[in-house]
């Protein structure tokens, strides 16, 4: 039985620890506001879907086409609700992300605290909440922070035996991103110890939000599977080797695999993660991290930064847990002799201080999202040029330009344009881009130096029919907007779009 003095000491320590957590949450939030909203181009695709939904047109991109091109229906619906309340999607997505980040940090602390690891919980919350590379994705306008909060919430609910809540949060995670279904695996693992009936309760709860959406999507779009998922499987194939490299470099970016020291770094990394799995909470988080990482690293498709970014909080929690175990052994003198401990601590502290300014500079880097800002400028320019008469825009990246121009869009990557898919099935990427532009002859064509097929510059028809209307220099090249002379009204263009879509790729003859 504990004494009153002992209980008082524990109460004081608990108050102090929660005060530290509050400071961490405030500091992370201030860091988000210091960085400010920095939506990337893909975020604007969801913004246009949410705006159309709020306006009563339904969750569509082009007003005349029912194509499910977003993989985040729940996030789209939340943004539409905020839009109806008067909050534009840029501000709405920023607000949702900041709140989700606060919830995520609280969930991390709570989960580790329940494991008896309050100190590690505070450290993990601080490391995640103050890491600029994570904050960069929080303010990027995407669903990343919301998605990760749902995953950690599901794990925490399962950890305390709340099967209904855990299942519901898995359903929300799935509707935020399709790979949210992977959260069901660690959740089921935690609940299985309480019996299969508990797992069944969680499965039923997960179906509660999913089934209504799937029923609506089937009725409205004809297929509940997002077209963008199908499009990516066709247009973004890179092979398992390349997908593994692009995914893993976010976590092992200092390892070149060419130096002897790399083997030591990799061994330390693996050992640290292995130590973290000795905790029940660490095993659940680690299970999701490794399953999620394997799904993307071995997918064989192009892995964008925001996919690997979703695993950053879990990765950091695992490193904190494993590092804590390793540090206990070090401080006990079993690894490093006593006289060297102080110098090791001082050296580690100086190393961290030396990189902090460089780390946080990335949040205010003018080059960050410069291409997206250039696309936005092109979109505003295009809207002014159209003067209320929308004309077709073909683009290799459709987000900001499509959002600000409000033009009907033909997506060269196929995410919202099924008629582009046949080209990519039979042609390499750049040739497919060129063939789509040639067959559809869009009134406007938006591209970049890297994504513009060289064959178009050498094609007589392109040189004759298209002129450069706007060029914006960005790092590594330029964003270029081409205008077609003598273009037809959008009504005629829409009918030709449907005709080509129905018959497959055209022969390439000029309309």
Domain residue spans in the chain?
10-335, 370-503
Average pLDDT, integer, range 324-340 = 59
Residue 472: phi, psi to the nearest 5?
A: -125, 120
The pLDDT value given to residue 329: 65
User: What are the distances in angstroms from CA 389 to CA 161, 269, 447, 491?
Assistant: 57, 57, 22, 10
**Cβ contacts of 266 within 8 Å, gap of 6 or more:** 252, 255
pLDDT score of 267? 59
For residues 187 and 170, is the Cβ–Cβ distance under 8 A? Answer: yes
Within 338-398, where are the H helices? 338-361, 370-386
pLDDT confidence band for 457 (50 / 70 / 90)? confident
How confident is the model over 134-163, as a mean pLDDT? 95
The packing angle between helices 163-176 and 196-221, to 10°, is 30
Inter-CA distances, 443 with 65, 121, 459, 467, 488, Å = 19, 56, 17, 11, 8
Confidence of residue 250 (pLDDT cuts 50, 70, 90): low
Q: Cα separations (Å) of 480 from 79, 300, 304, 375, 472?
A: 30, 30, 23, 9, 7
Average pLDDT, the chain: 83
pLDDT in tens, 124-136: 899 899 888 899 9
**How confident is the model over 367-382, as pLDDT tens digits?**
778 899 999 999 999 9
Distances (CA, A) of 151 to 77, 195, 437: 19, 22, 41
Checking if the pLDDT of 283 tops 90, the result is no
CA distances from 161 to 3, 76, 281 (A): 31, 30, 13
Per the CB < 8 A criterion, the answer to whether 457 and 436 are in contact is no
> Which of 218-222, 326-330, 415-419 bottoms out in mean pLDDT, i.e. has the lowest?
326-330
CA-derived radius of gyration, the chain: 25
Q: How confident is the model at residue 298 (pLDDT cuts 50, 70, 90)?
A: confident
pLDDT value at residue 443? 94
Name the residue with higher pLDDT: 291 or 268. Answer: 291
CA distance 465 to 472: 21
Least confident of 200-204, 232-236, 255-259, 460-464: 255-259
- Show Cβ contacts of residue 424 under 8 Å, excluding neighbours closer than 6 positions: 234, 235, 414, 432
Spatial CB neighbours of 357, under 8 Å, sequence gap ≥ 6: none
Is 331 within 8 Å of 340 (Cβ atoms)? no
Mean pLDDT, residues 62-86 = 94
The residue-averaged pLDDT of 23-37 equals: 94
pLDDT at 296: 86
The answer to whether 138 and 97 are in contact (CB under 8 A) is yes
Looking at the predicted structure, is the pLDDT value of residue 447 above 50? yes
Which position has the higher pLDDT, 133 or 60? 60
pLDDT, greater one: 98 or 227: 98
């Amino acid at each position: 039985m504990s004494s009153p003095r002992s209980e008082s000491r524990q109460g004081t320590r608990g108050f102090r620890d929660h005060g530290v957590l509050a400071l961490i949450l405030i500091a992370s939030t201030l860091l988000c506001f210091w960085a400010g909203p920095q939506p990337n181009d893909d975020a604007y695709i969801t913004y246009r879907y949410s705006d159309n939904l709020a306006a009563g047109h339904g969750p569509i991109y082009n007003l005349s086409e029912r194509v499910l091109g977003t993989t985040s229906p729940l996030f789209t619906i939340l943004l539409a609700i905020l839009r109806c309340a008067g909050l534009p999607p840029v501000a709405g997505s920023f607000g949702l992300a900041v709140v989700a980040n606060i919830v995520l940090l609280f969930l991390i602390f709570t989960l580790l605290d329940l494991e008896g690891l309050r100190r590690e919980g505070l450290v993990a919350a601080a490391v995640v909440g103050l890491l600029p590379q994570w904050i960069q994705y929080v303010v990027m306008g995407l669903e990343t922070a919301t998605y990760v909060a749902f995953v950690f919430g599901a794990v925490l609910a399962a950890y305390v035996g709340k099967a209904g809540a855990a299942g519901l949060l898995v359903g929300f995670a799935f509707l935020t991103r399709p790979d949210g279904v992977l959260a069901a695996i660690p959740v089921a693992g935690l609940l299985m110890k309480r019996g299969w009936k508990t797992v069944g309760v969680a499965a039923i709860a997960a179906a509660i939000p999913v089934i209504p959406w799937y029923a609506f999507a089937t009725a409205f779009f004809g297929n509940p599977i997002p077209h963008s998922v199908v499009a990516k499987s066709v247009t973004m194939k890179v092979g398992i080797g390349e997908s593994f490299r692009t995914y893993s470099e976010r976590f092992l970016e200092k390892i070149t695999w060419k130096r002897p020291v790399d083997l030591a770094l990799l061994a330390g990394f693996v050992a640290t993660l292995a130590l973290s799995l000795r905790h029940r909470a660490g095993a659940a988080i680690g299970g999701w991290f490794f399953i999620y990482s394997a799904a993307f690293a071995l997918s064989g498709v192009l892995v964008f930064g925001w996919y690997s970014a979703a695993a950053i909080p879990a990765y950091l929690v695992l490193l904190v847990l494993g590092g804590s175990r390793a540090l206990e052994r070090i401080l006990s003198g079993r690894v490093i002799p006593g006289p060297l401990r102080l110098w090791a601590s001082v050296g580690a502290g100086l190393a961290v201080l030396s990189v902090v300014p460089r780390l946080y500079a990335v949040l205010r880097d003018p080059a960050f999202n410069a291409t997206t800002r250039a696309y936005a400028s092109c979109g505003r320019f295009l809207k002014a040029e159209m003067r209320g008469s929308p004309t077709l825009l073909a683009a290799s990246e459709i987000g900001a330009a499509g959002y600000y121009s409000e033009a009907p869009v033909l997506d060269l990557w196929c995410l919202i344009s099924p008629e582009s898919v046949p080209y990519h099935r039979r042609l390499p990427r750049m040739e497919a881009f060129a063939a789509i532009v040639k067959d559809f002859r869009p009134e406007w064509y938006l591209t970049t130096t890297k994504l513009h097929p060289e064959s178009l510059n050498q094609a007589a028809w392109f040189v004759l029919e298209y002129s450069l209307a706007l060029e914006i220099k960005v790092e590594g090249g330029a964003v270029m907007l081409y205008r077609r002379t003598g273009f037809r009204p959008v009504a005629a263009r829409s009918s030709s779009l449907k005709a080509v879509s129905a018959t497959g790729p055209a022969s390439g003859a000029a309309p």
